[in-house]
Amino acid sequence: MPTSDLHDPILDWYDEHQRDLPWRRPEASPWSVLVSELMLQQTPVVRVLPVHEAWLERWPTPADLAAEPTGEAVRAWGRLGYPRRALRLHAAATAIVAEHDGEVPSDYDDLLALPGVGDYTAAAVASFAFGRRHVVLDTNVRRVLARVVGGAELPGRSLTRAERDAAAALVPDDAATAATWAVAVMELGALVCTAAGPRCEACPVAERCAWHLAGHPAYDGPPRRAQAWDGTDRQCRGRLMAVLRENHAPVHRSALDATWPDEAQRTRCLAGLVADRLVAQVAPDVYALP
């Protein structure tokens, strides 16, 4: 199948159905795009929107954030989850000031070197903020291509070389078009070609989709184990972090003890948070955000 057959329908669909998101507007700075990408890692758009707006209002440039203690970034992160991302974003801002004169770099390798920026985020920022041509492969794109090209309901657990090659072969030659293509396929995955309950009747390429044409065969790959939650260290760490976020003054250990019944686990998690630099011990039995 000529891969270009997919371009026009998806680009036209995006032109008509794209969401108006702050980091997509013409006036959005590369910093705004970078902040959005860190926040959107494993976190839905609707929860990111208010935090992103407040973040850019408070820290309009990387230098503004780098000038603050890391704990302020962790507090402003709020309940987005995975608070180490706040630490990484602060560290990225510091590196941007130190190594790039305060300007978010446009080069993929420079972006990849920043804390919290992996292959996806580097490609996304280079593409969305600077119009560069890259293979932007996130979970949405992987799912869309698995269905349209691969005829499978869901992609495999790990990204394969063949999968990356297939995605690369679909990227339009022109850089500006490639950048729009990247965001368009992601948007299609987010709004139509969703993991559960895809709306094939609204899909611009349903009649070219291998999975749709095959009658929606069910996923038959290796089982995807569900994340445990109740009683895990992650839940315990979340409780501890919530207390420290809510208190602007340092808190005594007794206030933390009340949040989790298992003392051994609680102590271990607190030590882990300190080791991760998400929590600072400011005195014996007294803790605060760093």
Catalytic residues: 37
Of residues 191, 205, 206, the one with CA closest to residue 6: 205
In whole angstroms, give the CA distance from residue 60 to residue 52: 11
Binding-site member from 62, 189, 204, 290 for DNA (CB under 7 A): 189
Burial degree of 197 (CB within 10 A; 0-12, 13-18, 19+): exposed
Binding-site member from 13, 35, 37, 170 for DNA (CB under 7 A): 37
Per-residue burial over 5-40, b if 16 or more Cβ lie within 10 Å, else e, is ebbebbbebbeeeeeebbbeeeebbbbbbbbbbbbb
Please report, as residue ranges, which positions from 208 to 227 form the binding site for DNA (by CB under 7 A): 224-227
> Does residue 30 belong to the site contacting DNA (CB under 7 A)?
no
Binding-site member from 84, 100, 164, 208 for DNA (CB under 7 A): 84
Taking CB under 7 A as the binding criterion, the range among 2-10, 20-28, 102-110, 247-255 that sits at the site for DNA is 20-28
DSSP string over 70-111:
HHHHHHHHTTSS-THHHHHHHHHHHHHHHHSTTS---SHHHH
> Does residue 24 belong to the site contacting DNA (CB under 7 A)?
yes
> Does residue 163 belong to the site contacting DNA (CB under 7 A)?
no
Minimum gap (Å) between residue 124 Cβ and DNA: 6
Please report, as residue ranges, which positions from 253 to 282 form the binding site for DNA (by CB under 7 A): 272, 278
Minimum gap (Å) between residue 139 Cβ and DNA: 3
Taking CB under 7 A as the binding criterion, the range among 81-89, 94-102, 200-208, 279-287 that sits at the site for DNA is 81-89
> Does residue 71 belong to the site contacting DNA (CB under 7 A)?
no
Q: 107 - beta bridge partners?
A: none
Taking CB under 7 A as the binding criterion, the range among 9-17, 135-143, 203-211, 254-262 that sits at the site for DNA is 135-143
In whole angstroms, give the CA distance from residue 190 to residue 18: 10
